[in-house]
Amino acid sequence: MVAITCVVHYTIDSLAAYEQYRARFGVDPEFVAADRIREESGCVLRYERTFMRPLLPTD
């Protein structure tokens, strides 16, 4: 088995916009179909999201 790492990085305008996207994911038919393909294929072995904030102030 060969492991391939795919890093997905999103730059979002605001958390509210991201929350709207996530709300659509469970109910929008196209989003549901895409997630079903991912689930049934077994191609994604692990899904991870990390939210970070800067430790130092930015000026």
pLDDT, tens digit only, all 59 positions of the chain: 676 666 777 677 787 877 888 888 888 998 889 888 888 998 877 777 776 676 776 66
Structure confidence at residue 9 (pLDDT): 72
pLDDT given for residue 3 in this prediction: 66
Short-list 44, 22, 47, 25, CA closest to 34: 25
Predicted pLDDT at 8:
73
Q: Tell me, what's the pLDDT at 40? A: 92
Q: Which residue has the tokens 């294929």?
A: 41
Q: What is the CA radius of gyration of the chain?
A: 15
